[in-house]
Structure 1
Amino acid sequence: MYLANINRIPSIEGIKNYKIENLHKDFMAALTGVVVAIPQCMAYALIAGLNPVYGLYTAIVSAIFGATFGSSKHLITGPTNSSALLVASVMKNYMGLDNAYQMVFLLTFLVGAFKMLFGILKLGRLISYVSHSVIIGFTTGAGCLIALGQLSTLLSIPIKNSAQMATTEKLYYVLTHLQQTNVYALGMGLITIIVIIACKKINKSLPGALIGIIIPIIFIIIFSLDKLGVQLTGNIPTSLPPFKMVNFDFSFIQNNISGALSIAIIGCVEAISSAKSIATLSRQKIDPNQEFIGQGIANIASSFFQGFPGSGSFTRTALNYHSGAVSRLSGVLQGGIMAVVLLFFAPFAKYIPTACLAGVMMVTAYNLVNKDEIKKVVSLGKLKSDSLAMWVTCFATILLPNLSYAIYTGIVLTIMLHLKDTNKAPIRIFVPLEAEGVKIVEKEVEVVEDNVEILIVELEGNLYFGMADNLEQKLDSLVNKSKVFILRMKHVRNIDVTALNALKVFTRSVKEADGEVIICGLTSNLNSILVSSNFDFGIDSNNKFMSEKETFAFSSKDMERARAVLKCDTDNKSKSCDILASSFQF
């Protein structure tokens, strides 16, 4: 049943319905995307602790397979800052080994397998458990980590075995060795940063990263700055990504299964978020499960062509759409054009200063800190669940030795805080009042201070075991406050045994205090639950009213019953009876 999803290739339908006049639009969008992707993907490879060429390999293969098998027409798959940072975290203890790159490719395969499994098992909806606040916290922390991690490269301060060092250790080393800064390399990096910022202010469509790298290359060639200690990227193979079987090391798999899972989770969130953000503009419907399958296939394919884990890139996806892309062919073309560039223009890449790539990543790191979103979360309250989850995830990302722990910490904390917020029973308490021009109104009260003859208790939502204690406490505080309680349950969607028990305790306590409980607004489903659980055992049948189509029909009936309980037609001439004698309006 689920395997049928694997046989579904969305691109086939796209090819059948493709209009040849869209080819020029897709090609120009792909060409524009390549201009931005080349320096970006090389820089992401450096973040992952890899040679820049592997960023290009990943971009080529991932873009082609992601576009072919994914759900979105515009999503561009490839290296991203989050995936690169997570790869660096998982691989930090392996990068000094001879088979380090083989382990990277195995990690890519594992990540792809997890993503594909998510899609096959239709777990698309579960991605909602990774809250927006956790993602904001993670990306903010990731931005700080990237900036701090690239500081040594920007200053051209060599650090031995830096891949095995924590970011805080590298920062301490840089601060204590500032005298080793190469001013020429720093100058090249600053030129890149300034050019990128200037291009963005002049025209957002300008490829600032590419221009910011080309200008320093001119200085490198004219003034031979490489002889003055400016480190260059070095030779990049002028060949297509080579096919190579993945070396399955079961010891590595056992030790890093958690890391692969965290990369897959964040990758899926990143891809779906990017695809949906553009889908709101393109009006395309996104299938999360199909997108997971597409992302999984892209990573699995990439693992056989020496790629590291990638995901959907928001930056390149947005650029693809705004550059006029019409179909998924633009993603396939982007991978193909990048392969041509690698095949014929790779020799020129050896002149790129690593400090310039670090400059690209400094700007990227700054952009990752979404100040507007942080303000929105904080504005909800500093001690609210969203805010706490965001800040804990952010600092965990920066301080914990493994980024996987930070992600899991954020997810678990979000769920715990959500459960804490939902363990409060949704109760509204009303007191019927007489008002001028209106025969009867309801006044909502937080606390019932004085005794009244009628209290209306309105329950809402799903009443489950988590809020049963809170429900019992709230109801218990009302027992001696009134003679007649009207329990409105029209807006109760479901109720479990534990919450039912809390209601039983309340009705029993009211009866022992010589009071009456009237239940109204019962749906047929809710009534069957009460009957099967014997909840209404001992409750007068006259005290139970089913929900009616008219919005407030049941209110008049339960008020009439309240009049009967208070004996308003005989000897009781209280204020409550006068109110109940009026016609009802709610």
Structure 2
Amino acid sequence: MVVTIHPSRRRPVEHCDLPRRPSRFEPLLRLLPRLFPFLSWWPRVGRRTLTADLWAGLTGAVIVLPQGVAFAAIAGLPPQYGLYAAMVPVIVAALYGSSWHLISGPTTAISLVVFANVSQLAPPGSPDYIRLVLALTVLAGLVQFGLGLARLGGVVNFVSHSVVTGFTAGAAILIATSQLGHFFGVTLPRGGSFLETWLAFFQQLPAVNGHVALIAGATLLVALVLRRLWPRCPALLLSLIAGSLLCHVLNGAGHGAKLVGALPASLPPLSLPEIDLDTFRVLFPGALAVAMLGLAEAVSIARAVAVRSEQHIDNSQEFIGQGLANIAGGFFSGYASSGSFTRTGVNFDAGAKTPLAAVFSAVLLALVVLLVAPATAYLPIAAMAGVIVLVAAGLVNAKAIRHILRTDRSEAGVLAATFLSTLFVGLEFAIYAGVMLSLLLYLRRTSHPHFITLAPDPASSRHALVNVRRKKLAECPQLKILRLDGSIFFGAVNHIAEELHRIVEKSPEQCHILIIGSGINFIDAGGCHMLFHEAGAMKLSGREIFFCSLKGEVMELLTRGGCLARIGAENVFRDKESAIAGIVARLDPERCACCPSRVFAECAGRPGGWAEGLAAAGLAELGDGPALAEGDDDENDDAPEEG
């Protein structure tokens, strides 16, 4: 007999959550976004984003056309190399970086560093010079790529804002100085120092060409007026057109005004940078400077835009993107590139949604070069000089300089040192000097932690501990309460020991020291040894040292190092409340009986008071308590300044 169950009466099958069997392709799927970062933002691409990115890319292509030519002139390269640097490297940096809006390409600071390093090895513009510049670009890219693979994105933090601000300000002056000859139509020695160039210029003042100076000045003025009246227009491009027209009207070529000449209407040609051992040894210091400066520029710009776009920036991935961009640029005739302040800001304001805007910018620039490159034959070098001077002036961030000078003297010193090194020593050395000075200042600050003297505030219901420098309060005559703000490591142990001895010597009657360790982030073997020694020395001199509020890692190292045994587990408390309660119970009762302060709430349970104590001591006839308590706050002046 066959029993048929109607489908409507079948018992529903209960599904249970069984562990999913991992696919063989899952590791590959997780690896793909790391190998190809653009896969992470590709799902955001749609019809609306494509339209917005296309218009933003067109705006960027128009802006970078005159900038690329100007930057190549600063770097000592033929004009087309500045445009090549704004094509392939831009695409690679956009696809392999982490920022959605960062636009890479040639920049003024990088161009100047390239010129400073390579102009001493070969004549600017010569085939040897171009070969060395491309090799320098690949080396800088390899450094950046290696730092990115090692996930050392935090290394860019050592190039502080003061270093970048001082360097760019000095670079701006050097850039303007390098254009004096082209701006005024005089012959100045190439490769001279800052002072030598200005001295030669003043000697050549009688030979200034009025036509050349008029063309350069008019181009600069037109760009300034256009920026003021029409901020979104391609002011540099329009000013170059105006300068070319003025040169034609004045017959500038017949009066000594030189022309740029026609650019080759071609895409970036393939190149093969030659890097042998001798080239590596000569170029690597400069390549390291280019790499660090380029990373500092790119990451700082990406972060600034990310604040407005609410996007997370991966520093290490940005390193990889910039490194691959420079490596690819060296093989496609583009010299060293980095993030651009101007073009990134314009890209974001133009409504770019994804990195495809940078890709469109590079592709459209290539089309523009193919179409209008011959028109540069009518472009006067004086007009280019006017544009370059304007670009250099934009590098001086007066607002940031004022902020640094007003805020921090140490950072102001770093800024001034970097600025002066840029002008008078050397660009690559200026970056190293600024970074080293910043690190030395950081080490000085961390190796000089401060002891803050605290006392209970009777106006507070819980007798909260307050800095005696901020509010003059009475201290316990037997207990000195200190808060250590800083870590105890080998570089700080001598300073901490000396500071502790100074405080103890100025407060000889306070035989107990309580150190609140909430500000101690870590301690090393040297710090543990110092505490071990100080605890023993204090016990020999009849003093006791106590600790409270120590972090778990600090307690663990003190235990492993044997320091806790020397201090005594009974001298280490969990928090301030238990520390004060435990220490007050161990104070000398005879001194407590005569104490007029009674600063702790726990003092209420101690025997006697100031009047009772005086009577017991037979000193009642000396006067009342408050009169005796006058001047009892001398210890308040012994506290160190708060850091």
With normalisation by structure 2, the TM-score equals 0.84
CA distance in 2, matches of 1:396, 1:366: 19
Following TM superposition, by how much is the alpha carbon of 1:120 offset from its aligned partner in structure 2, in angstroms? 0.9
Assess if the C-alpha contact under 8 Å between 2:144 and 2:295 holds in 1.
yes
Assess if the C-alpha contact under 8 Å between 2:476 and 2:599 holds in 1.
no
Q: Deviations over 1:18-75 (max 9, x none)?
A: 1022222111111111221111110010001111111111112222222122211111
Which residue in 2 is equivalent to 1:408?
432
- Is residue 101 of structure 2 the alignment partner of residue 74 of structure 1? yes
Q: CA RMSD in A?
A: 2.5
Residues 469, 156 of structure 1: alpha-carbon distance in 2 compared, 3 angstrom cutoff: same
Question: 1:211-360 maps to which residues of 2 (within 5 A)?
Answer: 211-360=238-387
Residues 253, 568 of structure 1: alpha-carbon distance in 2 compared, 3 angstrom cutoff: same
Which residue in 1 is equivalent to 2:146?
117
Following TM superposition, by how much is the alpha carbon of 1:208 offset from its aligned partner in structure 2, in angstroms? 1.1
Assess if the C-alpha contact under 8 Å between 2:104 and 2:340 holds in 1.
yes
Following TM superposition, by how much is the alpha carbon of 1:533 offset from its aligned partner in structure 2, in angstroms? 1.7
Which residue in 1 is equivalent to 2:626?
none
Residues 555, 490 of structure 1: alpha-carbon distance in 2 compared, 3 angstrom cutoff: same
Assess if the C-alpha contact under 8 Å between 1:70 and 1:292 holds in 2.
yes
Following TM superposition, by how much is the alpha carbon of 1:263 offset from its aligned partner in structure 2, in angstroms? 0.3
Which residue in 2 is equivalent to 1:558?
579
Assess if the C-alpha contact under 8 Å between 1:74 and 1:275 holds in 2.
yes
CA distance in 2, matches of 1:335, 1:352: 23
CA distance in 2, matches of 1:56, 1:459: 57
Note the residue ranges of structure 2 that are not aligned, 5 or more in a row: 1-26, 606-643
Assess if the C-alpha contact under 8 Å between 1:55 and 1:307 holds in 2.
yes
Question: 1:475-514 maps to which residues of 2 (within 5 A)?
Answer: 475-479=500-504, 480-514=508-542
Question: 1:518-533 maps to which residues of 2 (within 5 A)?
Answer: 518-533=546-561
Secondary structure of 1:152's aligned partner: helix
Residues 389, 436 of structure 1: alpha-carbon distance in 2 compared, 3 angstrom cutoff: closer
Note the residue ranges of structure 1 that are not aligned, 5 or more in a row: 547-553
Residues 280, 567 of structure 1: alpha-carbon distance in 2 compared, 3 angstrom cutoff: same
Residues 574, 134 of structure 1: alpha-carbon distance in 2 compared, 3 angstrom cutoff: same
Residues 571, 440 of structure 1: alpha-carbon distance in 2 compared, 3 angstrom cutoff: closer
Question: 1:377-416 maps to which residues of 2 (within 5 A)?
Answer: 377-381=404-408, 384-400=409-425, 402-416=426-440
Following TM superposition, by how much is the alpha carbon of 1:582 offset from its aligned partner in structure 2, in angstroms? 5.0
Which residue in 2 is equivalent to 1:466?
491
For residue 150 of structure 1, the aligned residue among 170, 179, 186 is 179
Query: Aligned pairs, how many?
Result: 570
Max Rg structure: 2
CA distance in 2, matches of 1:257, 1:583: 72
CA distance in 1, matches of 2:601, 2:436: 51
Which residue in 2 is equivalent to 1:86?
113
Which residue in 2 is equivalent to 1:428?
452
Secondary structure of 1:478's aligned partner: helix
Secondary structure of 2:542's aligned partner: coil
Between stretches 165-174 and 348-357, larger displacement belongs to 165-174
Which residue in 2 is equivalent to 1:542?
570
Secondary structure of 1:519's aligned partner: strand
CA distance in 2, matches of 1:136, 1:410: 10
Which residue in 1 is equivalent to 2:214?
187
Secondary structure of 2:455's aligned partner: strand
Secondary structure of 2:423's aligned partner: helix
Assess if the C-alpha contact under 8 Å between 2:97 and 2:320 holds in 1.
yes
Secondary structure of 1:495's aligned partner: coil
CA distance in 1, matches of 2:67, 2:212: 19
Secondary structure of 1:491's aligned partner: coil
For residue 129 of structure 2, the aligned residue among 100, 118, 143 is 100
Assess if the C-alpha contact under 8 Å between 2:136 and 2:287 holds in 1.
yes
Residues 314, 571 of structure 1: alpha-carbon distance in 2 compared, 3 angstrom cutoff: closer
Equivalent AA in structure 2 for residue 325 of structure 1: A
CA distance in 2, matches of 1:373, 1:417: 20
Residues 527, 168 of structure 1: alpha-carbon distance in 2 compared, 3 angstrom cutoff: same
**Of Structure 1 and Structure 2, which has the larger fraction of its residues in strand?**
1
CA distance in 2, matches of 1:533, 1:148: 60
Equivalent AA in structure 1 for residue 65 of structure 2: I
For residue 51 of structure 2, the aligned residue among 11, 14, 24 is 24
Between stretches 298-307 and 242-251, larger displacement belongs to 242-251
Q: Deviations over 1:151-181 (max 9, x none)?
A: 1111121335x1x333332222222112222
CA distance in 2, matches of 1:504, 1:557: 23
Which residue in 2 is equivalent to 1:40?
67
Following TM superposition, by how much is the alpha carbon of 1:524 offset from its aligned partner in structure 2, in angstroms? 3.7
Assess if the C-alpha contact under 8 Å between 1:440 and 1:582 holds in 2.
no
Secondary structure of 2:35's aligned partner: coil
CA distance in 2, matches of 1:75, 1:181: 41
Assess if the C-alpha contact under 8 Å between 2:147 and 2:316 holds in 1.
yes
Equivalent AA in structure 2 for residue 556 of structure 1: E
For residue 457 of structure 1, the aligned residue among 470, 482, 485 is 482
CA distance in 2, matches of 1:450, 1:581: 14
Residues 523, 330 of structure 1: alpha-carbon distance in 2 compared, 3 angstrom cutoff: closer
With normalisation by structure 1, the TM-score equals 0.92
CA distance in 1, matches of 2:539, 2:589: 20
CA distance in 2, matches of 1:201, 1:82: 25
- Is residue 159 of structure 2 the alignment partner of residue 130 of structure 1? yes
- Is residue 444 of structure 2 the alignment partner of residue 444 of structure 1? no
Equivalent AA in structure 2 for residue 498 of structure 1: G
Between stretches 514-523 and 268-277, larger displacement belongs to 514-523
Identical pairs, percent: 29
Secondary structure of 2:219's aligned partner: helix
Which residue in 1 is equivalent to 2:24?
none
